Amino acid sequence: MGGAFPRIVEEHTRVKDVVRGEEEKFAQTLDRGLALLAGEIEATRKRKSTTLSGEVAFRLYDTFGFPLDLTEDILAGEELVVDKPAFERAMDVQRERARGAQKFADAGGGPEITGLGERVPRFVGGRTPVWESEVLALLEDGKETRGPVREGAQVDVVTAETPFYAESGGQVGDRGEITTDAGTRIEVLDTQKVGGKVVVHRGVVRQGAIEVGQRVRLAIDAARREASRLNHSATHLAHAALRRRLGTHVKQAGSLVDPTKLRFDFSHHKPVSPEELRAVEDDVNMQIRANAEVTVEEMKYDDALKAGALAFFGDKYGDRVMVVRMGDFSVELCGGTHVARTGDIGVFKVDGESGVAAGVRRLEAVTGAGALDEIRRHEATLADIAQLLRAGEQDAKGKLEKLLAQSRELERRVQELQGKLAGGATKDVMADARQVNGVTVLATKVEGLDDKGLRDMADRLRDRVQSGVIVLAAQQGEKASLLAVVTKDLVGRYHAGNIIKELAPIVGGGGGGRPDFAQAGGKDPSKLDAAVERAYAIVEAGK
């Protein structure tokens, strides 16, 4: 029991302490995010608004790890909503930055890092959350420097060794912190590779200053890495399950693995049926329950392929590669981070399947805590539906089907009544017809008809008029509806779409259509009479 054993126990204890510290930091981050949200909710109410800023929602997502749907769930309880367009604009800006960073990495671009000499930074592996190392090179605002790089500056840090995983193989780069005993703190916002081999920690100096040669402590965001690790390993199982269920023609055509989800693009010639998706989901979860060991072995590239390993799309392989084996179910080439056993993934839940290009499908899924959250959201939705239906969850489907059948029957009866109403009303509205420039023009306001009722009435009037221009207007709740018809013999003189384009702004709307038929909606039904009267003037003007 002597020799290395005490050192192993000591290292095990140190790692447990580190992980415990990372969990505490995660809880503190969550608390800061909730505090920010609480303050913004109060500020939103003071502005007498019901919409939270999209930029704030993005900050909650980007800085504190709040998914948008979590923020929306919290706001729903406060009777508030998110400005989604603004959130998406912020996301687009981030994606552009990410694309720029990836181009920088793929091209080995940016300034050449000369301070490394012959030294090549080393990734210390996917199971180590904290490491101490030496700063080999620094870039401040893209320019190499020996430092000091001070508080507030954007900085790229290169160290001799690192526990940070640089973005590749579809897995996003790690985030975390770089600190020194002197109190320097750098927030690492992304990790990329330059020239395919140099790991660069990209971030901001939040406190103190950093110089080349300093000893630093590198700590990844352990919770974020763990979530990404689960999703990455599940991607391998999903690939194998898809090949098993759909055929060996299935090959990866791209992927994205981040802490919130996995996205897997694969070659397949048609949509995957719900039954096939369920079978894939079952296969993956069966492998998770099997709790097979996940091993990573380095070997020659040719030997790996002979052993049956699958190569991932877009990855560049050298003479020696890492082979990831998950029991007897999956063998693939991959340099990413993975779980120790398949059971660590917890659960795999398919979130959707769609087509992204000719012959390419996309599978989206969640794992671990993300899958549990997804299941709970579905349960909450079912509970809400059952409550609205005043039924038990088991009876909700049957009661909903009954209500839908009743609704369809009521809609059928309403359509019948509207048809009769439209047929009877045609006799009355003909009194509004006028002769304008030798053309019969009928512009009138009618009551109690929806869009289909208006179309039915217009068809009847066209049959009675035979040659002329018809404009119908109706109030539908708080909205206005307009419809114009030009008989075929007059299409050369008048255009229904142009008539509607002139009338729609009067009721605060817009619309258009064909030469013989057009319609529009508006938000100001009080102006319908003015629109009707304007119709005669438009025809008189020869439009």
CB 81 within 8 A of CB 50: yes
Instruction: Say if domain 122-220 classifies as CATH 3.40.710.10.
Output: no
Tokens describing residue 535: 């119709």
Task: Give mean pLDDT, residues 460-464.
Answer: 86
Place of tokens 């013999």: 489
pLDDT digits (tens, 9 = 90+) for 258-290: 888 999 999 999 999 999 999 999 999 999 999
Look up the pTM and report it: 0.58
Closest to 254 measured CA to CA, from 312, 311, 332, 310: 312
CB hemisphere CA count around 21 (13 angstroms): 12
CB 347 within 8 A of CB 325: no
pLDDT at 478: 87
Rank 53-62, 115-124, 334-343 by mean pLDDT and report only the highest.
334-343
The answer to whether residue 26 scores a pLDDT higher than 80 is no
Write down the domain spans for the chain: 12-106, 122-220, 226-376, 421-540
Q: How many of the other CB atoms lie within 10 Å of CB of 320?
A: 11
Average model confidence (pLDDT) across the chain: 83
The answer to whether residue 512 scores a pLDDT higher than 70 is yes
- Dist CA 19 CA 493 (whole Å): 79
Percentage of the chain modeled with pLDDT above 70: 85
What is the 8-class DSSP label of residue 311? P
Please state which CATH number belongs to domain 421-540: 3.10.310.40
The answer to whether residue 381 scores a pLDDT higher than 70 is yes
Task: Give mean pLDDT, residues 457-477.
Answer: 88
Confidence of residue 369 (pLDDT cuts 50, 70, 90): confident
Confidence of residue 309 (pLDDT cuts 50, 70, 90): confident
Tokens describing residue 321: 């590669």
The answer to whether residue 426 scores a pLDDT higher than 50 is yes
H helices of 445-527, where? 451-465, 496-503
Class level of CATH domain 226-376: alpha beta
Higher pLDDT, 381 or 542: 381
pLDDT at 330: 92
The answer to whether residue 335 scores a pLDDT higher than 70 is yes
Percentage of the chain modeled with pLDDT above 90: 34
The answer to whether residue 24 scores a pLDDT higher than 70 is no
